[in-house]
Amino acid sequence: TLRPRLPKPRAASRVIVAQAGNGSGSYKVAILGAAGGIGQPLSLLAKMSPLVSALHLYDITNVEGVTADLSHCNTPAQVAGFTGKDALAGCLLGADVVVIPAGVLRKPGMTRDDLFSVNAGIVRDLVAAVADHAPGALVHVISNPVNSTVPIAAEVLKQKGAYDPRRLFGVTTLDVVRANAFVAARKGLPVADVDVPVVGGHAAATILPLLSKARPKAAAAAFTDEEVEELAARIRDAGTEVVEAKAGAGSATLSMAYAAARFLEASLRGLDGHDDVYECAYVQSQVVPELPFFACRVKLGRGGVEEVLASELRGLTDYEARELEDLKPRLKASIDKGIAYVQQNQ
């Protein structure tokens, strides 16, 4: 779970040199889309992180207000705001991690793929700027449809000669956060004890919670078939549950900011040299040979992804194995759509 800690005061004269994996405990984070529904609470949580020394906020609107507001919090991270395309280079320069929640969101009745026509171009252009101005940064893509925007980001980075698959992530942490919350509630367990790996992608049936691999193991063993199907359906439809509850006013923002902050903190701990950092994320891998991108548990380290834990896909239940087969063509189509978009719009 995310454990926001109050930062220790630092000497004002301290010189901070932020480089990936420097073990300094101080990193520069850029958030693109920082004035949005996710961007604002995520910026607040990042401002509270003791691992963040500089926080650069970029948006096409309202970033001055968010920056002024956030800069009054008395935590050490220095906040700076940037707006307009000309400011993007300055925002990105020296960033260790770039988080991208920029783009449009779903209204009731829409699928995440309905966002492709707008968000594909936004992600392409922002990631091109990352390649130019922060080529060594870890890139966390939140903008939907994640199943396609991450392959888009990869293609852009390849074209720019800046692609390192270990440093590109689709943020699927919210699926894990939801799975943990729903399983804990269903089984009456302390939520801090629950850990459910969620693999596949981040849309409807491509989201595959591996309830048989959940911790605590006793709880995983005690799920009935009905419970497994009900919980899997709730986890898969949880984004739609929020979209419908907000009735046109937005999609998940607070839980997403919480999840993105958890993944940011994990990435920073990895960069900082901690050797026990594991999270699920949508990354390039060969875990499922037909799928060049797949969400899976990964070990995070100084260079980003240190290991993709393929072992988690062994010993699946019949239900999970069937669901995995079912999601493959859906996820492949979304990946191919993203790759084709970049290749056709060069």
Catalytic sites, residue numbers: 202
Regarding 176 and contact with ligand LMR (CB under 6 A), the answer is no
Regarding 61 and contact with ligand NAD (CB under 6 A), the answer is yes
Q: Which does 180 bind (CB under 5 to 8 A by kind): ligand LMR, ligand NAD, none?
A: none
**Using CB under 6 A, which of the segments 43-51, 77-85, 219-227, 238-246 binds ligand LMR?**
238-246
Regarding 239 and contact with ligand LMR (CB under 6 A), the answer is yes
Nearer to ligand LMR, 83 or 206 (CB): 206
Q: Which residue has the tokens 């991450």?
A: 150
Nearer to ligand LMR, 34 or 252 (CB): 252
**Binding pattern for the stretch 100-139 against ligand NAD, x by CB under 6 A and - elsewhere:** -xxxxxx--------x---x--x---x-------------
Q: Which residue has the tokens 């595959």?
A: 208
Q: Which does 242 bind (CB under 5 to 8 A by kind): ligand LMR, ligand NAD, none?
A: ligand LMR
Nearer to ligand LMR, 64 or 114 (CB): 114
Residues that bind ligand NAD (rule: CB under 6 A) add up to a total of 33
Q: 333 and 116 in contact (C-beta within 8 Å)?
A: no
Residue of 144, 149, 180, 285 that binds ligand LMR (CB under 6 A): 144
Torsion sign (Cα): 48, 50, 53, 54: negative
Q: How far is the CB of 252 from ligand LMR (least distance, A)?
A: 3
d(CA 157, CA 254): 30
- Other CB atoms within 10 Å distance of the CB of residue 189: 17
Q: How far is the CB of 74 from ligand NAD (least distance, A)?
A: 26
Residue of 31, 32, 152, 153 that binds ligand NAD (CB under 6 A): 32
CA-only gyration radius of the chain, Å: 19
Identify residue 174 by its one-letter amino acid code.
L
Backbone angles phi, psi at 332, to 5 degrees: -60, -40
**Using CB under 6 A, which of the segments 68-76, 128-136, 140-148, 299-307 binds ligand NAD?**
140-148
- Other CB atoms within 10 Å distance of the CB of residue 290: 11
- Other CB atoms within 10 Å distance of the CB of residue 145: 26
Q: Which residue has the tokens 């709730």?
A: 234
CA-nearest of 2, 6, 54 to 279 is: 2
The rounded Cα 47 to chain-centroid distance in angstroms is 18
Q: In a 3-state reduction of DSSP, which class is residue 63? A: helix
Q: 146 and 201 in contact (C-beta within 8 Å)?
A: yes
Helix %, strand %, coil % for the chain, to 5?
Answer: 50, 15, 35
Regarding 35 and contact with ligand NAD (CB under 6 A), the answer is yes
Residues that bind ligand LMR (rule: CB under 6 A) add up to a total of 9
**Using CB under 6 A, which of the segments 53-61, 91-99, 181-189, 311-319 binds ligand NAD?**
53-61
Q: Which residues bind ligand NAD (CB under 6 A)?
A: 32-33, 35-39, 58-61, 101-106, 115, 119, 122, 126, 142-144, 146, 171, 174, 202, 250-253, 256
